[in-house]
Structure 1
């Protein structure tokens, strides 16, 4: 029987080569793993250590007081004169039930109490204080 044209010695392979797809996915995974901690962002402060639980970052409004005593709502710096007016507006706009205060450990206690008092006056359900875990490794 004569050989037909087009049916040479090579067989047709219907398999998909996914090696390059896996390379791309793993590269993206590494990029996201490196950038995810940076995306938490916020204002850089050195909060005190205490026995604490982690706070969900998407929940509530976070107010930060940095070492110089500057006040931030989220990432936005706010003058003290504006804070008492703007803070309740931000809480209402986000529909937040809880708010959190992050204060640098070098901030005078009086400044923290002043900001905390203004936050409580905004009629929020709870005001939490953010601190770092005392023993992040879990050991004593």
Structure 2
């Protein structure tokens, strides 16, 4: 009686489906980790908290107002009088250009309104005001 003859001898096989699952998992992992690597190069300001904070996907221009009231275009200091002309040149070529206004929470409300007015007079149609996520 030979028992060995009844056994099915199988050779090892390469399982493709689990390998595809692992590759997709790694792909999603690296895609999600690169989202956290994006760093917005602007002047550091202490943003006020807000319950609804939304971040634009496209790269907007960033105008910052520091706690001393100094105005910044990205990281470059700019005078309020020069802001409108510079923005008008950009809006002329890119009418849908988004602008994010980042103002320190200790800046006077009137200063923020003056800057917002200059942005609107320059023709900015997409204006966002930056805020931090409120801690619960």
Q: TM-score range by the shorter chain?
A: 0.5 to 0.7
Number of aligned residue pairs: give it. Answer: 104
Look up the match of 1:22: none
Look up the match of 1:71: 71
Gapped regions of structure 2 (runs ≥ 5): 1-29
Shift in Å, 1:40: 2.3
Look up the match of 2:104: 104
TM-superposition CA deviations, 1:79-120 (whole Å, max 9, x none)? 122112212223445554321110001111110000000001
Instruction: State how far apart, in whole Å, the 1-side matches of 2:83 and 2:116 are.
Output: 12
> Given the superposition, is the C-alpha separation of residues 57 and 125 from structure 1 closer, same or farther in structure 2, using an over 3 Å criterion?
same
Q: Provide the alpha-carbon RMSD of the alignment.
A: 2.5
Normalising to structure 2: TM-score of the pair?
0.64
> Given the superposition, is the C-alpha separation of residues 111 and 57 from structure 1 closer, same or farther in structure 2, using an over 3 Å criterion?
farther
Q: Assess if the C-alpha contact under 8 Å between 1:61 and 1:91 holds in 2.
A: no
- Map 1:18-97 onto structure 2 (within 5 A): 36=37, 39-56=39-56, 58-92=58-92, 96-97=96-97
